[in-house]
Amino acid sequence: MPTARQTNLFIFLVCNGLILAALYMQNVMELKPCYLCITQRGFIILTGTFSLLAFLHNYGIKVYGGLITLSALAGGFFSGKQIWLQSLPEDQVPACGPPVEYLFDAFNFSDALSMLFRGDGNCAEVQWTLLNLSIPAWTLLCFLGLAALGLWQMIRKS
């Protein structure tokens, strides 16, 4: 069995791999991230940050496990929301909003953050699939795996 420290390093490396994959898709494959994609990236970074802190501190494993689990489940919520938007009939998809850069320039921070969390019509577009699963579906599976590892860190014997 891997140690708690090794598990936290693994979670951190997985999160880094997910962000690198997202950047590859954005910059090489030229897929434009929507509001919910950016929100999910934020939760991947948050989950990775908690796991890195747990790895470096090497104490408070159960607390960090809880933080990892909560951040991964929150990210999974936004993945699920995007999957739901993608499953809507075309006539029920919300209108598309302005680019993210404009949001933070034109609106105060809390309003821009609210729009980012809500998503828009751009979030309903399926830009890429693998084995018939969209990017948010794969991200949801990753979040569930990360949450399971965080939960395992919480319940494992010290």
Contact by Cβ (8 Å): 68, 153: yes
Q: What is the pLDDT of residue 124?
A: 76
Distances (CA, A) of 94 to 110, 118, 131: 21, 10, 27
5-14, 35-44, 49-58, 91-100: which has the minimum mean pLDDT? 91-100
3-state helix, strand, coil in the chain (%, to 5): 75, 5, 20
d(CA 130, CA 32): 17
- 33 versus 145: the higher-pLDDT residue is 145
d(CA 7, CA 152): 9
- 92 versus 4: the higher-pLDDT residue is 4
Is the predicted pLDDT of residue 6 greater than 80, yes or no?
yes
Contact by Cβ (8 Å): 84, 115: no
Distances (CA, A) of 24 to 56, 68, 133, 136, 156: 28, 25, 18, 16, 35
Helices and strands: H and E segment counts in the chain: 6, 2
Distances (CA, A) of 38 to 78, 82, 92, 116, 156: 10, 11, 22, 8, 32
Contact by Cβ (8 Å): 130, 138: yes
| Mean pLDDT computed over every residue of the chain | 89
